[in-house]
Amino acid sequence: MRIAVDAMGGDYAPDVVVEGAVLATQEYDINVLLVGQKEVIEEKLSKYSPNRDKIEIISASQVIAMAESPTEAIRKKKDSSLAVAARLLKNNEADAMVSAGNTAAALAISRSILGKLKGLARPAIATIVPNAVDVTILLDVGANAGNCGPEHLLEFAVMGEVYARNVLGKSAPRVGLLSVGEEQSKGSAITLEAFPLLKNAPINFVGNVEGRDIVNGTTDVVVCDGFVGNVIIKVIEGVADTIFQLMRFEVNKSRLAQFGFLLAMPAIRKFKKRVDYSEYGGAPLLGLNGACIIGHGKSNAKAIKNAIRVASEFFSHNVNAHIEQNLENIKLKQETLNNDIV
């Protein structure tokens, strides 16, 4: 399996990206194509003793900055590490791609080069949120920041269900529509229209869910528009950071608290691991004609390693084929209902 990795993408690239790629080749049966400025990557790679049969450097002369305009990046940087990685995937020279760089640029460039899946209107970014029992998939979290219609929420539900079932191994993923109340009559105009679409889809739809259901373990997939989803993710990240800051502040107040902290350290380590984004690697960009994983801009080497793992799982479980099949099933079902009405 060949994973193209944007070596120049991310706040700490290329150092942590190269390190993460080396870790991935050591731990998994994966070949990595490091895409970027060859001399820079070679210099970073020389610090390690990787199996060079499993790592190849693909030259790309340009770098897209984290705050750069996606439109400008597409127009002016045809030889960026992001664009070259996407073309490797497009030309079947790679089986999946990973980038922790500019998310908006990654979305725009990969969509431009790879295109969308057949029958799909909009791709979506899905992210894994730890909950009280296991994990919840939340989508969209940023690919569609506005103007989402009910049919788009239906697509998000189908894609999230496929990913939960095929990659995370959930036999009948519970899919919820994020709203302000559990009753079908509650919600915005869009969620009210989306409810019957999800109810009639070939998924295990459990109805409207509220914000707390994302983290309490009652729902496996939660669907919302990209604006709301992105806000939720940022709030969760902020709450997790604040909890640890408050813990450190309180522990430092007394020696008794410090002693108790030491006794609780094994449980605290397990909790920290559960909420650590680097454990989950990256967010799959669902709906593209290829396996594309978006990493956090602040990704460390462990996060890059796990993002590469996620990319390999996406490809090996043939996620896109399952999404296309489910979308086709929904289309056929709708045509049958329309014919019955006529």
Which residues make up the CATH 3.40.718.10 domain(s) of the chain?
1-120+287-319, 122-279
List of residues 6+ apart from 10 with CB closer than 8 A: 16, 17, 66, 99, 100, 101, 295, 297, 298, 299, 304
Superfamily of domain 1-120+287-319, CATH level 4: Isopropylmalate Dehydrogenase (3.40.718.10)
Strand partners, 205: 175
Q: Is 64 left (phi over 0), alpha (psi -120 to 50) or beta?
A: beta
pLDDT at 2: 95
pTM, rounded to two decimals:
0.87
pLDDT at 67: 86
How far the first Cα of the chain sits from its last, in Å, is 49
pLDDT at 52: 79
- C-alpha 39 chain-centroid distance: 30
pLDDT at 214: 93
For residue 84, what are its two tokens? Answer: 């070259």
Residue 211 near residue 177, CB atoms below 8 Å: no
167-169-170 Cα angle (round to 5)? 120
As a whole number, mean pLDDT of residues 164-178 equals 93
pLDDT at 269: 73
Residue 108 near residue 82, CB atoms below 8 Å: no
341: pLDDT strictly greater than 60: no
For the chain, what is the largest distance between any 2 Cα atoms, rounded to a whole number of angstroms? 77
Give per-residue pLDDT as tens, 229-238. 999 988 888 8
342: pLDDT strictly greater than 60: no
153: pLDDT strictly greater than 90: yes
pLDDT at 273: 67
Residue 114 near residue 94, CB atoms below 8 Å: no
Q: CA-to-CA distance for 334 and 331, rounded, in angstroms?
A: 5
List of residues 6+ apart from 92 with CB closer than 8 A: none
Q: CA-to-CA distance for 45 and 34, rounded, in angstroms?
A: 10
List of residues 6+ apart from 129 with CB closer than 8 A: 135, 136, 137, 138, 214, 215, 233, 236
User: Does 329 or 273 have the greater pLDDT score?
Assistant: 329
Q: Which CATH number fits domain 122-279: 3.20.20.150, 3.40.718.10, 3.40.50.2020, 3.40.710.10?
A: 3.40.718.10
Residue 217 near residue 131, CB atoms below 8 Å: yes
pLDDT at 264: 76
Give per-residue pLDDT as tens, 60-70. 999 999 888 98
pLDDT at 340: 59
Radius of gyration of the chain (CA): 21
For residue 342, what are its two tokens? Answer: 């006529």
267: pLDDT strictly greater than 80: no
Average pLDDT score over the chain: 89
pLDDT at 191: 93
Residue 284 near residue 293, CB atoms below 8 Å: yes
- CB atoms < 10 A from the CB of 43, how many? 12
Give per-residue pLDDT as tens, 238-265. 887 787 788 778 878 888 877 787 877 7
Burial of 315 by CB count in 10 Å (0-12 exposed, 13-18 middle, 19+ buried)? Answer: buried
As a whole number, mean pLDDT of residues 305-316 equals 94
As a whole number, mean pLDDT of residues 265-285 equals 75
pLDDT at 335: 66
Give per-residue pLDDT as tens, 9-46. 999 989 999 999 999 999 999 999 999 999 999 999 98
Secondary-structure percent of the chain, ordered helix, strand, coil, rounded to 5: 50, 15, 35
Q: CA-to-CA distance for 101 and 258, rounded, in angstroms?
A: 39
Burial of 189 by CB count in 10 Å (0-12 exposed, 13-18 middle, 19+ buried)? Answer: exposed
As a whole number, mean pLDDT of residues 277-306 equals 90
In this prediction, residue 275 has a pLDDT band, given cuts at 50, 70 and 90, of low
